[in-house]
Amino acid sequence: MKKIGIITTLVGLSMSSAFASNDILKMPDFVAVSAVSHIEEKAEKVASSTPFVRLQNRGIRIIDERLKALASNSDAINRNKNLTAEQKTVLLSQLNNNSTALTTLRTSVASSTDATSTRALIDSVYKDYRIYGIVIPKVRLEARVYQLKAHTVKLSDTFLKIQSKIDDHKAKGHDVTAWQKNLDDAKTKVAGHMFSLDEILKKTATLTPANYGTSTRVTIQEVNTQIQTIQKDFRTISSGVRSKAGKDDMKKIKQERMQSTATGTPGVVR
C-alpha cells in the first residue's frame, strides 16, 4: 500500500507540472515605449553683415545636420523588430520625403549667388520643414502607436487560445468564472484601445510645420499621455488573464492529488 501511495504521489506531481507548463499560456512580450519630447526649433539669428560665403556655409550646415538626423531615425525604424514591414514603410516614407526635399534645398543653397535668396532658403528650413520640431517627433510618436497596435494583435491572438483553454477546463468541471471574467474584461479593454490608437494617429496627422508653435506642443503632450496610459493598461491585462486560472486550477489539482494519496487510488488523468 505504501508503494502504491508513493507512485500515486509522483503521478500527481507529474500532472501538476504538466498542467502548469502546458495549460497556462505565455502572454506576448510587451515592449515599453518612452515619451517623445516636444523640441523647440528656433531659427538661427544671422547678422545682416554676415559675409555671403559664411551665410551660405551656415545654411548647408543646418541642412546637413537635419539630413543626418533623418538618416539616424530611418536606421532606428529599420532595426525596430516590433514594427511590421507595412508600418515601417509608412514611417520611412515621411522621413525619406523630407530627406529628398532637404537635399534639393541644399543644392539650391549651394548654388545661390546672393545673400538675399540664401537667407530666404535658410528660413524655409524652419518655415516649411521643422525637422526637429515636427517631423521627427511625429514619426517617433507614430512608431510608438504602431508598436502598441501590433501588441493588440498579439493579445487578440492569445485571447483566442486562452478562451479555448477556458472552454476545455469548464468542460472538465473546473470553476472558470473568475478566469472568464478576467478574459472578457481584457477583451473589452483591448478593443477600446484599438479604437483609441486609431484616434491618436488622426491626432498626430495634425502635426505640421504650418501649425508649429500653436497647437503642436499640446498635441504632443496629449498623445504622450494617451500612449503611456494604454501601455500601463496592457501590463495589467497581461497579468490578469493568467493569474486567477493558475491559482484556482493548481489548488484543485493539489486537492485531488492529496485525496488520491490518502486513498491509494490513481489520480484523474487529464
What pLDDT is attached to residue 235?
Answer: 80
The Cα 114–Cα 151 span in angstroms is 53
Residue ranges of the chain with pLDDT lower than 70? Answer: 1-27, 29-31, 238-240, 242-270
- Sign of the torsion formed by the C-alpha atoms of 102, 104, 107 and 108: negative
What pLDDT is attached to residue 254?
Answer: 56
> What's the whole-model pTM score?
0.78
Residues 6+ apart with CB under 8 A from 236: none
Say if CB 256 and CB 267 are below 8 A apart. Answer: yes
What pLDDT is attached to residue 241?
Answer: 73
Residues 6+ apart with CB under 8 A from 29: none
Which residue, 177, 164, 163, 158, is CA-closest to 249? 177
